[in-house]
Chain A
Amino acid sequence: MARTLGTHALSPTPRHEADDPSSLVARFGADEPLHLDCGIALAPLQIAYQTYGTLNADKSNAVLICHALTGDQHVANVNPVTGKGGWWETMVGPGKPIDTDRFFVICSNVLSSCMGTTGPASRLDGGPAYALDFPVVTIRDMVRAQAMLIDQLGIDTLFCVAGGSMGGMQVLQWAASYPQRVFCALPIATAAKHSAQNIAFHEVGRQAIMADPEWKGGRYLAEGTRPEKGLAVARMAAHITYLSEPALHRKFGRKLQDRAAPTFSFDADFEIESYLRYQGRAFVERFDANSYLYLTRAMDYFDLAADYDGRLAQAFRGSRTRFCVVSFTSDWLFTTQESRAVVHALNASGASVSFVEIETDKGHDAFLLDVPELFATTKGFIDSAARARGLTEPARG
């Protein structure tokens, strides 16, 4: 694998997208800094975002999509880096469960990511990238930044905040931090805290990146190198956690890759090895290694109850937001048990909550895939909430 990665052409796109993204950008100057949990006031700040659909006259139809760890703002358009379709085109678009003929859909690249919102790969005034001088941020900081964007767009209350995995963490944080600004919330395959096992997997990924000599103590952009091997290994390890054993067995089993017999070497004999190597290679093409460190750290630090004396129910006390919590049976990264803990807290606080555990063998990744039960649940929840909000249905030709 090392050779394959080493000979791969360096792609300039992450660098370019980090400062000058192929999407809308909101800018905040020194007079409106973002106050971070670590105590630092971050300025200037830029937030890269995409929108779909039209904001209605009373600004009541806005949906904020929160993306996952390595996602971006390109929810439902061709991704400028990969050339592939948007990461949630199954869910968001005309006539889709989150219907862009009806809703004004917003998605912003999260703080410390690398697709145009300020992060460790951003350069100040053409100087060197922040690298490890960038402050460590939290999920709450990401949500604060999103709130600044929503303010700038002149939107008071979001009709819906939706997202899976790390996106779901942001949804829960939105509901806790700004209960009066969230009409309904759809946290999918997520948790109110990151588990020890999940922190452990993240640490493996970070160590792989930092062990790569090309990482150069985080200063690889200035040094003109890229820690591709480390980042690829991090992605490979993480990717396993997004799948499930039954899905791996169904898809790959012990099948060999383009060969009839094992080669008695360390080539990618098995299809699963070849698949993971491909995933690692594809990832380093589009993602910044330091961003990966910062984003995984933000997830590790997430423990919503900790801000409320360890009582999660307090986070949602008095909330009038309608919640629909979704988990997947085969998701061992964000288990149903974690979702149930959220549901339990919402119940205890008297909030309006629905919960669906969807049966699938697709693992954690199920929230991104074609899972009809997920679409049916989402559509039912969103449509009924839209009726309660008094939003008209789109005319269909």
Chain B
Amino acid sequence: MADAQFSTNASAARVDLMVVAEMVEPGSRVLDVGCGDGALMRMLQDGRNVDARGIELSQAGVNQCVAHGLSVIQGDADTDLADYPDDSFDYVILSQTIQATHRPKVVMEHLLRIGRRAIVSFPNFGHWKIRARLALSGRMPVTENLPISWHETPNIHFCTIRDFIDLCGEVGAQIEKGVALDAGGRPMRAGLPWGVWNLFGEQAVLVLSRGK
């Protein structure tokens, strides 16, 4: 879906996907929402023997997936998740896509309904560089990772790590695992307070489950 914007640094993107992939238990059933060209799905299928399915908005992405033998449906996270039955997957992955959805809260509710667990990765708008740009220039930040100006970007619902954690509370999601990634896409040291991640993490990856 909006993956292209975050793929400026190809190797960093791979690291991001690998972080997500490592959070998936081998042999499970996975739905990748916004699967792009299917790179993560292939990684999961080949490396972790996962039964992976995908949803992707762009025709080019879907065609690439189909050509690789992946089962991918052309569709939109905002409208098409409603069609999936409850508990139909072990994991539903939303990688770098939530900020491009129209109704992130509804999407989150569907992820938790469809999958036993949800894995969500997103760019952190609370990163110090972004805060600094906004504070110093008084303009919406345009950075290497977020290169598109405010009126063109498909990313209409940016949030910080703290904001996202609030949303998890609102939809009753329990955070099972979390990691922030630095500018190179590498995981930051575990056990740091959320405030540190929110300031220095460029991306966050969280594993969620339905709260008790």
Contact = CB atoms under 8 A, between A and B. Distances in A.
Interface of A: 322, 324, 340, 343-344, 347-348, 350, 352-359, 373, 376-377, 379-381, 383-385, 387-388
A377 B85 contact: no
A380 B67 contact: yes
B63 A322 contact: no
A380 B66 contact: yes
Contact of A388 (B64, B66, B69): B69
B74 A347 contact: no
A380 B63 contact: yes
Nearest to B67: A380
B59 A387 contact: no
B69 A387 contact: yes
Contact of B70 (A354, A373, A376, A387): A354
Contact of B72 (A354, A376, A387): A354
B74 A357 contact: yes
Contact of B88 (A350, A383, A384, A387): A350
B107 interface: no
A340 B76 CA distance: 12
Contacts of B74: 355-357
A384 B75 contact: no
A344 B85 CA distance: 9
B71 A356 contact: no
Nearest to A381: B66
A164 B28 CA distance: 34
6 contacts: A343-B83, A352-B53, A354-B65, A376-B63, A377-B63, A387-B69
Contacts, number: 68
B68 A384 contact: yes
Contacts of A356: 59, 62-63, 66, 74
**B contacts with A: majority SS:** mixed
Given A322-B71, A354-B66, 13 more contacts: A340-B75, A348-B85, A350-B88, A352-B53, A353-B73, A354-B62, A354-B70, A354-B71, A355-B74, A357-B59, A380-B64, A380-B68, A385-B69
A191 B62 CA distance: 21
Contacts of A340: 75, 80, 83
B83 A347 contact: yes
Interface in B28-77: 53, 59, 62-75
B150 interface: no
Interface string B74-103: 110000100111001000000000000000
A300 to B, nearest CB: 27
Interface in B1-51: none
B114 to A, nearest CB: 10
Contacts of B67: 376, 379-381, 383-384
A246 B210 CA distance: 48
Contacts of B62: 354-356, 377
B59 A355 contact: no
B66 A343 contact: no
B66 A384 contact: yes
A380 B59 CA distance: 13
Nearest to A387: B69
With a 10 A CB-CB cut-off, give which of A353, A356, A384, A388 has the most chain B CB atoms: A356
Contacts of A388: 69
B73 A377 contact: no
A352 B67 CA distance: 14
Given A347-B84, A354-B73, A356-B74, A324 B59 contact: no
B89 to A, nearest CB: 10
